[in-house]
Amino acid sequence: MIAELAYQDLEPGSLARLFGAGHAAVLVRCPEIVAELWRGLLEDSAEQMPWEAPLIDIARNYHGSGDITASLGDLFYFQPGRHGYIARKMALSRDEREGHIAVCPAYFVQGSHHYTPRQAVLDQCWAIGRRLMTALAPEGAPSRDFQIVVQRLKYQESMGDFDRLDALARNSLGRWGRAGCALDERRWQAAGMLSPRGLSDLYGLLADMPLIGRLLRGINRMALRRDRSRDIAPGQRLIEGAHFDYRYFSALCGQRDRMLTQVFADGQWVDLPIDRATLAVFPGSMATQAYGVRHVLHRVLHVERDEPGQAGNPRTDNVTLLIGSV
């Protein structure tokens, strides 16, 4: 279900073979590499992370898109049950004319100063992403143009803080914007035959209406009971709903206390170990389209605990580092 592989054993087609054999994810063991990435991307005191920054700096560093997955720079995205993070996202590409790795955005605003990512860190991220991309492609597959994405995602320690950030984001919208958020929340609850796009939109519009809404909610409750992908254990709360990443692959490492990433395999949710010794790799929709590698449904949960969390570093606690390819 989840395979393991040493970094030195990554070779052309090695990940493709494991995913083709039915593994939902591969844990690539590389503690020294992860430690170096972590130092360069999370522990450089010269870089102000967006969750440490004033809101105006986040806004100045935001390079948005109508598609949240394509946005770069700094952003915060809070929609209950769909997304819940503050992030810094970069895209790397090879500049053939200059002969080096270029990054977008090229710098980040920090008050009256700019921070420029160190070239050595960018080169390392590119080298790791390229090696994973080569291992994902089946042997003999034609090479493809790609970019490497580097994302640092910050989750909250307490569910109360998630709720406060959700409320803050919602309050910035107008009346119709808030109504749209409520419709989206109902739409995401649609299951079974009501879940496809279009039908789920209709469910969101009609679920609160008299008579027909009651009927639709009853049908949806029956579908939810049969849908194992909607199961949530006691003490857990959904932060990022079940979804497929639209990229070739996602490779995750991080420092977690109350956050849990799960992949859906063989009809059940399986915890995906996220730590600072391995890269947890799973394929996305672009791998399905390009190589026939099955993309993996996954989600992020917050785990409620009675005991207080261990005192740590607010800069790096509950942070996930993602390297991927698009």
Mention every residue, 6+ apart, whose C-beta is less than 8 A from residue 296: 24, 25, 244, 263, 264, 265, 282, 283, 284
CA distance 247 to 244: 9
3-state secondary structure of 80: coil
Nearest residue to 57 (alpha-carbon basis) of 117, 108, 116? 108
Question: Which residue, 149, 100, 107, is CA-closest to 128?
Answer: 149
| Residue 268, helix vs strand vs coil | strand
- Alpha helix positions (H), the chain: 14-20, 31-42, 55-60, 119-136, 159-171, 175-188, 199-206, 212-226, 285-291
Lowest-confidence pick of 58-62, 126-130, 171-175: 171-175
State pTM to two decimals.
0.90
Burial, 284: exposed, middle or buried (Cβ in 10 Å; 0-12, 13-18, 19+)?
A: buried
On the question of pLDDT at 302 being above 80, the answer is yes
Residues of the chain with CATH 2.60.120.330: 2-106+114-149+232-325
Tokens for 323, please give them. Answer: 């390297």
pLDDT at 92 over 70: yes
| Contact call for residues 221 and 213 (beta carbons, < 8 A) | no
Beta-bridge mates of residue 97: none
**Distance from C-alpha of 136 to C-alpha of 15, rounded to nearest angstrom:** 5
Contacts of 86 (CB under 8 A, 6+ apart): 50, 51, 58, 74, 75, 76, 153, 154
Pick from 268, 321, 318, 276: nearest CA to 297: 268
The pLDDT of residue 308 is 61
22 vs 69, more confident: 22
pLDDT tens digits for 177-214?
887 787 777 887 788 888 888 888 888 888 888 888 88
Confidence class for position 307, pLDDT limits 50, 70, 90: low
Kindly indicate the confidence band of residue 106, based on its pLDDT and cuts at 50, 70 and 90: very high
Q: Is the pLDDT of residue 236 over 70?
A: yes
C-alpha neighbours within 13 Å on the C-beta side of residue 311? 0
Residue 65's DSSP bridge partners are none
Give the CATH superfamily of 2-106+114-149+232-325: B-lactam Antibiotic, Isopenicillin N Synthase; Chain (2.60.120.330)
129 vs 310, more confident: 129
Q: Give percent of the chain with pLDDT exceeding 70.
A: 98
- Candidates 130, 137, 153; CA nearest to 322 is 153
Radius of gyration of the chain (CA): 20
pLDDT of residue 311: 61
